[in-house]
Copies of this chain bind each other. A is one copy, B any other.
Amino acid sequence: MAKITIDDVTKRFGEGDESIIAVDDVSLDIRDGEFIVFVGPSGSGKSTLMRIVAGLETQTEGDIHIGDDLVNQLGPRARDIAMVFQNYALYPNMTVEENMSFGLKMSTDMSADEVEEAVTSAAEMMDIDMLLDDKPGELSGGQQQRVALGRAIVRDPNVFLMDEPLSNLDAKLRAEMRTEINRLQNDLDVTTLYVTHDQTEAMTMGDRLVVLNYGELQQVGTPLECFYRPANQFVAGFLGSPSMNFFEGNVEGGTLRADGFDFDLTKRMQSAVSSRNELVLGIRPEDMTLHDRANSGHEFEAVVDVVEPMGSISYVYLRARSQSHDQTFIVETDGQRPISEGQHVYVEIPDRDVHLFDAASGETIHQRQLGDDAEMALEEQIKPAE
């Protein structure tokens, strides 16, 4: 149980020209007991940052504090952490049980019985109790991952580090595990850093999200904050699945002229835009609506490119009728709505759900509006985070 301070940490791999900056001057204060989720595209430095916190990698620059101690010079053992490796890193020569009990034997004075009890209960939680005597090589991918997770959660460390611990599990199991991890983290109140690519995990598990791109911090905030109030186009596009649709355009007297349609900016938007010219309009697929015929001036005509039925919902890939380039955008519709490829539909972009971004810097210049209650709830969330 400890707060973690990441102070201007940079990590370079390799020397000279060849060098890669995996983590770029990241600073972050993590409160004691907080659950922090790292997200970011592949290769954005999530694992590296985590390994630096673990003491497995030495940062090129910057400091790491755990609790009040500067731990730059300390190895993983002294930092008292438990970690789920992205690649599991199970001990091939040990059984599942030995894998799971190893950390306890190394880091605590627990008696053999206590260790066994802890391992058994963790294994039951992970639903791998019948595999305790198997060697990792005999397990399925998901089973291995659960062993890796179990190995971490039996411990009672200062800090949990979990690098995509659920990526090889099925949705159902993942939901269960998610709950278990949350429960455990609440019970133990252990500071936790968690890497995930899963939207649901990202949105539901963490107290705060940390969004990374190319090793740089993009935004730190509660999940909803990041979702509804993205700091920039990257965050807006990265969170939510399918991604937010982006339309580039030029402002011409209160109207954004995008390729294929025009969008009238509201007053608030116009003032936010001020003198900028090149803008990007962002809107999530679930916020756009499709009509069979035009109702008002706000709609524009589009052609259905592909329909991806997902069951309850469908994703419809569309192309604005008068669009010059080939790009499609996605709209989420009800799964039972009859719609077919080539069909012409009218797309409505509700004003309130629109984000605007500076085309050059990607910075958000206008955030969407939320329902009053949601807005208030969000405001409340944001405050304590500051």
Q: How far is the CA of A335 from the CA of B42 in the complex (A)?
A: 28
In the complex, are the beta carbons of B370 and A336 less than 8 A apart? yes
Residue from B46, B140, B286 within 8 A of A43 (CB atoms) = B140
Bits for A75-92, please: 1 = Cβ < 8 Å to B, else 0.
000000000001100000
Interface status of A310 (Cβ within 8 A of chain B): yes
Closest B residue to A312 using CB positions: B286
Q: How far is the CA of A315 from the CA of B241 in the complex (A)?
A: 16
Interface status of A377 (Cβ within 8 A of chain B): yes
Interface status of A67 (Cβ within 8 A of chain B): no
In the complex, are the beta carbons of B197 and A170 less than 8 A apart? yes
In the complex, are the beta carbons of A338 and B371 less than 8 A apart? yes
Residues in chain B near residue A163, CB distance under 8 A = 141
Bits for A138-178, please: 1 = Cβ < 8 Å to B, else 0.
11111101100000000000000001100111111111000
Which A residues are closer than 8 A to B by beta carbons? Answer: 13, 39-43, 46-48, 86-87, 138-143, 145-146, 163-164, 167-175, 197-200, 203-204, 223-224, 227-228, 237-243, 284, 286-287, 308-313, 315, 335-338, 370-371, 373-374, 377
3 shortest interchain CB distances as A-B pairs: A42-B142, A338-B373, A336-B374
Further 15 A-B residue pairs, CB within 8 A, beyond A171-B197, A204-B308, A286-B313: A42-B143, A42-B145, A43-B139, A86-B141, A142-B197, A167-B168, A172-B238, A174-B197, A200-B241, A203-B309, A204-B310, A239-B311, A335-B374, A336-B370, A336-B373
